[in-house]
Amino acid sequence: MKKLLATLSLSAIIFTVACNDTEEGKDSSNTSDSTSSTTSSKPTDNALALLQSNCFNCHNPDKEAAVRVAPTMADIKTAYKADELTGSEFAHKMIAFINNPTEENSHMPEAVKQYGMMPKLNYKEEQLEAMAAYIYKNDIGSDEWYIQWKATKDQPAGTNTADMSYEDLGLSIANRTKAQLGKNLMGALKKHGAPGAVTFCNTRAIPLTDSMAKVLHAGVKRVSDQPRNPNNQANEAEIAYIKELKEKIAKGEPLTPKIIEAEDKVTGYYAIETNKMCIQCHGNKNTDILPETYANIHKAYPADKATGYGEKQIRGIWVITMDKK
């Protein structure tokens, strides 16, 4: 667990100088409209650490990046602030989209056309509020911000992961892995379309998941009651939880994680929901999946069970196994 906590800390960045140099960069622990007050630096450090670990994998701030799979956070801020939104309005609109990424909720239709729709990620409301507040109050994308970010992006962060609950720690691991897979999948979709994405999933998804597990010193896997790859078949306990999630969706209830403690291990279950991007390969084979894509799926996965899904359905779960602290 100590190795895991150290790794998560090293994965984020510290940005104290930028938080003290300008009024827009001053710290805030909420999404209030004021930008003139200064509070403890910890909320901003944590917010930037969350952005670095979960968002910058796709929304890469690096101006020298040759290939992009999503707009930068600076582009997103510009689009959302075009209507002179207050801090709370800005946060509300961003959070509404992240919680339900659809074309109807998007304020960047051209970006959706260029990059496709982002996958649904699971965050706690306070995490989303902290990240939105940081984006609103800091001049992300400016030369000053970029120079300092470039110089410090690989340094240890101020995020105190030792105080995180197992539920939050597991969620962080799941989201980091999901972000890495999503970045590569979106790149494959952009370059090769849905047929090429099948090849990516067949050859790269499990190795990438395994590599993230090694980096994070935790057990990381995706399982389903309707797996595409037989290696991702859920066991009896996991299927029971998937059933619970489906019942909660039907009732409109929140999809809460499940934490199971054993003698020396803690296991967290986290929902995987479908969105429009998923349907290209997991929807109805007669209406949603292109013939070429389906042919590639059938060739790579002759025992495939993972079609017939609609949007906002339970595709499976993340299973995160952590050492006890």
pLDDT at res. 19: 33
Taking residues 200-218, report their average pLDDT.
81
More confident residue, 150 or 78: 78
pLDDT at res. 263: 87
Please state which of the ranges 33-42, 164-173, 231-240, 247-256 shows the lowest mean pLDDT.
Answer: 33-42
pLDDT exceeds 90 at position 301 = yes
Residue whose structure tokens are 């930037």: 48
pLDDT at res. 157: 45
pLDDT at res. 246: 96
What does pLDDT average to over the chain?
Answer: 79
More confident residue, 293 or 47: 293
**Which tokens belong to 238?**
């996991």
Residues in the chain: 325
More confident residue, 124 or 310: 310
pLDDT exceeds 60 at position 222 = yes
Alpha-carbon gap, residue 15 to 210, rounded angstroms: 30
pLDDT band at 45 (very low <50, low <70, confident <90, very high): low
Q: What is the largest CA-CA distance in the chain?
A: 60
Percent of the chain with pLDDT over 70: 83
Taking residues 162-187, report their average pLDDT.
81
pLDDT at res. 267: 96
Long-range contacts of the stretch 207-210 (C-beta < 8 A, 24+): 208/180, 208/181, 208/184, 209/177, 209/181
Query: In the chain, where are the structural domains located?
Result: 2-163, 168-323
Please state which of the ranges 23-27, 117-121, 245-249 shows the lowest mean pLDDT.
Answer: 23-27
pLDDT at res. 160: 52
pLDDT exceeds 90 at position 176 = no
pLDDT band at 13 (very low <50, low <70, confident <90, very high): very low
More confident residue, 82 or 131: 131
More confident residue, 42 or 154: 154
SS (H, E, C) the chain: CHHHHHHHHHCCCCCHHHHHHCCCCCCCCCCCCCCCCCCCCHHHHHHHHHHHHHHCCCCCCCCCCCCCCCCCHHHHHHHHCCCCCCHHHHHHHHHHHHHCCCCCCCCCHHHHHHHCCCCCCCCCHHHHHHHHHHHHHCCCCCHHHHHHHHHHCCCCCCCCHHHCCHHHHHHHHHHHHHHHHHHHHHHHHHHHHHHHHHHHHHHHHHHHHHHHHHHHCCEEEEEECCCCCHHHECCHHHHHHHHHHHHHHHHCCCCCCEEEECCCEEEEEEEEECCHHHHHHHCCCCCCCCHHHHHHHHHHCCCCCCCCCCCCCEEEEEEEEEECC
Q: Is the pTM of this model over 0.75?
A: no
pLDDT at res. 227: 95
pLDDT band at 154 (very low <50, low <70, confident <90, very high): low
Residue 26's Cβ-side half-sphere holds a number of Cα atoms within 13 Å equal to 11
